[in-house]
């Protein structure tokens, strides 16, 4: 590898819009890795009661953004934390992991999930400047319906696996889509991503849940998603990186701001 190429490789700007930093054995190490690699990382949480603890761990990081979340699979057990979500929502622009998961066949459980998600969307809509990373397994239609056409905020469909038709509907309503390394193994996902406009694509790891060669994926592994996008788009890795980083920068511009910034807090 030439020195010039090596230099350029180090200039790749990486964005991980969905990483469960708090669920790694050593969260400090993941934060340090994101700082050192200058990888913008959205550290999602699964329940409001762990948000403060992760904020303490992340500290004054320039690159790691702590998100306030409420995972749909925990909605039934943790529904009492809904007031806590509302109490904390003013502390961050980043919201996730939230959404719906219809792997459960229990209609009562799905109804509680919808209640939690609807309350969260209402809080975020009132705030007007939130950036949501959203889970929609087997529930894409209800997720897209719940967000609606006039949501005041930005939203990212994380690891989307619903129909193309529903995705088109979501894109018409302003959706972004984030891709992880597990999706790069799927021909169905490839066909779907090829249909998403370049300016709506983002990268994520969903670490530590998504694994790469038996190890948990970490923010720097968004490079695999970028490599995949660069082959789908038939451009260089550097160009793909610029597109995705630019997308995140535009996404995180607060309404009314004039200049893009990737360091929204």
Q: Give me the residues that bind Mn ion (CB under 5 A), please.
A: 97, 206
Distance in Å, CB of 96 to Mn ion, minimum: 8
In the complex with Mn ion, which residue's Cβ is closer, 137 or 223? 137
In the complex with Mn ion, which residue's Cβ is closer, 182 or 243? 182
Burial class of residue 44, CB neighbours in 10 A (0-12, 13-18, 19+): buried
Query: 226: Cβ–Cβ under 8 A, 6 or more apart, which residues?
Result: 12, 14, 203, 237, 240, 241, 244
Distance in Å, CB of 22 to Mn ion, minimum: 11
In the complex with Mn ion, which residue's Cβ is closer, 97 or 142? 97
The tokens for 165 are 């038709």
Distance in Å, CB of 59 to Mn ion, minimum: 23
Distance in Å, CB of 209 to Mn ion, minimum: 6
Sheet containing strand 201-203, strands side by side:
94-99, 131-135, 154-158, 176-179, 201-203
Cα–chain-centroid distance for residue 101? 16
CB 149 within 8 A of CB 113: no
Distance in Å, CB of 204 to Mn ion, minimum: 8
The tokens for 38 are 């200058």
In the complex with Mn ion, which residue's Cβ is closer, 33 or 69? 69
In the complex with Mn ion, which residue's Cβ is closer, 18 or 130? 18
């Amino acid at each position: 590898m030439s020195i010039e190429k090596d230099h350029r490789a180090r200039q790749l700007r990486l964005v991980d819009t969905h990483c469960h930093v708090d669920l790694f054995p050593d969260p400090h190490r993941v934060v340090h890795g994101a700082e050192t690699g200058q990888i913008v990382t959205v550290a999602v949480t699964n329940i409001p009661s762990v948000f403060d603890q992760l904020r303490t761990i992340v500290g004054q990081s320039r690159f790691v953004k702590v998100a306030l979340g409420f995972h749909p699979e925990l909605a039934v057990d943790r529904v009492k934390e809904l007031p806590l979500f509302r109490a904390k929502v003013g502390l961050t622009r980043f919201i996730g992991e939230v959404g719906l998961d219809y792997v459960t066949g229990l209609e009562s459980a799905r109804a509680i999930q919808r209640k939690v998600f609807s309350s969260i969307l209402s809080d975020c809509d009132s705030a007007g400047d939130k950036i949501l990373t959203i889970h929609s397994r087997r529930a894409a239609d209800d997720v897209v319906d719940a967000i609606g056409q006039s949501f005041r905020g930005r939203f990212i469909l994380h690891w989307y696996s619903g129909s193309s038709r529903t995705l088109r509907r979501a894109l018409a309503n302003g959706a972004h889509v984030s891709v992880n390394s597990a999706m790069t193994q799927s021909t169905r996902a490839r066909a779907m991503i090829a249909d998403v406009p370049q300016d709506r694509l983002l990268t994520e790891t969903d670490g530590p849940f998504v694994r790469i060669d038996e190890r948990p994926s970490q923010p720097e592994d968004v490079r695999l998603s970028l490599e995949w996008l660069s082959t789908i788009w038939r451009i260089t890795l550097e160009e793909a990186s610029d597109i995705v980083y630019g997308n995140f920068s535009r996404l995180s511009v607060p309404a009314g701001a004039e200049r893009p910034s990737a360091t929204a807090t």
